[in-house]
Structure 1
Amino acid sequence: MIRRLLSRETVTGVLALVVLMCVTSTACSGPPGGDTLERVRAAGSLRVALTEANPPWNFLDGGTRPAGYDVDVAREVARRLNIARVEFIGVDFASFVGGVQAGRFDIVIAGQTITAERRKEVDFSRPYAVNRISVFVRTGDTSIGGLDDLAGKRIAVSEGTVQAEFARTRIPNADVRTYRNAILGLTDLSRGRADAALVSWFQGVYLAARNGLTVTPVGPALRTYVLAMSFRRGSPAFKQAVDKAVNDMIGDGTLSAISRRWLDGLDMAAELRRTPANPAG
């Protein structure tokens, strides 16, 4: 009886120790409770997920410092939420939804398209950007002039993006080849390892010029997508605060100034005003 009693007490003590460790560390952290706004303001830091490999939207300038449209937007949103520090976390597109749900970061600001499927898993802010997806081919390749010429071709896309889903469902017999980011896909395209790539027009043109890639966009844009920030469901105060920040940035010219800096003079506020809301959003 004594041995059994001691065993139970030992087990109880171990369980108590585990609980204490979970409370005082992140070892057992899971999806956080409460509204995200209250938590990030208490922490004084906003954890922002982005790919760090999606210029000019977001990338590492000089290999170390986050830069780009999304980065400037994120810092401005944090400032308007009265949050002093922004922590950028590099994640690939395919991990955004799961990372938000697990509490690895507070918000995704990385050119994420609003879709009906994603809305089942996370909440979205009001749109903060639009993106035109184009077909890129090797410079001088006249066999592909647009979407109608892609059937049966080797198509490079970034995994976890709407472009990947588009290629799998809309291009007959496509050999869809996925990459962690657009620069890898465009590089393979330039080397003849793919026949075409589906990439943001802004991003493809930027990467081609910056990296000396012999690729070029052809044909009309496949589609214009509405982009928003995503975060954990059930945080209405956080959503309201983020939406207000973006609305105010559109109204006072801040978003226009950021986009002109990074998107070749484009006025993103004007683009948002003339673009219909995404049907999925």
Structure 2
Amino acid sequence: MRTINGRRRAITLVSFVALCVAFSSAATVHAADLLAQARANGTLRVANTQSSPPWSMLDENNKPVGYDVAIAKEVGKRIGVPNVVFIADSFKNFVEGLKTGKYDLVMNDLTPTPEREQQVDFGDPYGVEDFRIFVPVGNTDIKDKDSLKGKRVGVATGSSNESWARAHLKDSDIRSYDNGGFIFNDLGSGRIDAVIISHFGGMKYANVNHLPVKEVGDPLIYQLSAPAVVKGQPALRAAVDKAIAEMMADGTMQAIAKKWVGRDYDMVGMIAKAKAQKE
């Protein structure tokens, strides 16, 4: 009996030590310096939807392009990691993807919200846009926020406009979609009555797909977009913030915005105005 008990104690001790090592390894991985790792590996992993124009989308060669894509590439160069790999994911997965190490950054029109800021850190904003109501061109019932009462409203799953819609459109039937294109397909077929999406995103879908839709009413909300990083990565966050500040100051950000967002869109000025309103 003594021998058996001794073996059991030894096995228990070994199991305990193995468990401690596993926890220690997990903590070490979580606490690893992602900036140093990216520089050592020569690769920065950035998440985006690749389906939210003009911020991120696929071109005719199936390559990621758009404002956020161009900004992310420039950030990579300026922080010493010129090889940026883009990982396609949906808004609803971005926070968990960061927390599980699936990617180093999220850069896809992601708005810092109190809920998100409890789980991940955000850098300085590099984009801003206004969100609007889109309806079929023949619709005359929906003119503004108040006329969405009782209507079926489509939003992107996990997006800040979904959060806003569920908080402010209590009397509407909010329906979420993982893909922006599907929202407009359902709008065109009559499955939903309206879509809440950014002005740029909505107009891009309408123009590219030749959809008979229109904007109605004033902007519902203005939202800043910022890079998201897992908590506990001050070096990566600081490096990204420095790159964004340099791009704002030297005209690079404005040049990228003119190419992808619109020639007359003052991205830097709009960011300043949106930050001032928020403060």
- TM over 0.5, yes or no? yes
Question: 1:165 maps to which residue?
Answer: 163
CA contact (8 A) 1:136 1:217 kept: yes
Matched, 1:127 2:121: no
CA distance in 2, matches of 1:106, 1:29: 17
CA distance in 2, matches of 1:209, 1:35: 43
Compute the displacement of 1:32 (Å): 3.0
CA distance in 2, matches of 1:278, 1:91: 31
Question: 1:275 maps to which residue?
Answer: 274
**Unaligned 5+ residue runs, structure 2?**
none
Identity %: 37
Question: 2:223 maps to which residue?
Answer: 225
1:182-201 matches, cutoff 5 A:
182-201=180-199
1:143-154 matches, cutoff 5 A:
143-154=141-152
CA distance in 1, matches of 2:238, 2:174: 39
Please give the per-residue CA displacement for 1:67-94, whole angstroms capped at 9, x wherever unaligned. Answer: 0001100000000001131110001000
CA distance in 2, matches of 1:221, 1:244: 31
Cα RMSD after superposing both structures: 2.7
Question: 1:68 maps to which residue?
Answer: 66
Question: 1:258 maps to which residue?
Answer: 256
CA contact (8 A) 1:146 1:220 kept: yes
Compute the displacement of 1:106 (Å): 0.2
The letter of the residue matching 1:126 is: D
Question: 1:85 maps to which residue?
Answer: 83
| 1:250 partner SS | helix
The alignment's TM-score, normalised by the length of structure 2, stands at: 0.89
Compute the displacement of 1:63 (Å): 6.0
The letter of the residue matching 2:274 is: T
| 1:248 partner SS | helix
Deviates more, 1:263-272 or 1:158-167: 263-272
CA contact (8 A) 2:52 2:201 kept: yes
Q: Which has the higher helix share?
A: 2
Please give the per-residue CA displacement for 1:182-207, whole angstroms capped at 9, x wherever unaligned. Answer: 22111211111110000000010011
CA contact (8 A) 2:111 2:225 kept: yes
CA distance in 2, matches of 1:83, 1:29: 25
Question: 1:243 maps to which residue?
Answer: 241
The alignment's TM-score, normalised by the length of structure 1, stands at: 0.88
CA gap 1:183/1:29 in 2 versus in 1, 3 angstroms? farther
The letter of the residue matching 2:220 is: L
CA distance in 2, matches of 1:29, 1:180: 32
Compute the displacement of 1:246 (Å): 0.3
The letter of the residue matching 2:179 is: N
Count of residue pairs the alignment pairs up: 275
CA distance in 2, matches of 1:91, 1:170: 27
| 1:202 partner SS | helix
CA contact (8 A) 2:73 2:82 kept: no
| 1:177 partner SS | strand
Please give the per-residue CA displacement for 1:101-121, whole angstroms capped at 9, x wherever unaligned. Answer: 111100000000111111111
Match of 1:105 among 100, 103, 106: 103
CA contact (8 A) 1:114 1:278 kept: no
Compute the displacement of 1:129 (Å): 0.4
| 1:54 partner SS | coil
Please give the per-residue CA displacement for 1:25-82, whole angstroms capped at 9, x wherever unaligned. Answer: xxx8996323321221122110000001101110111262000001100000000001
CA contact (8 A) 1:226 1:278 kept: no
CA distance in 2, matches of 1:211, 1:30: 48
**Unaligned 5+ residue runs, structure 1?**
none
The letter of the residue matching 2:267 is: M
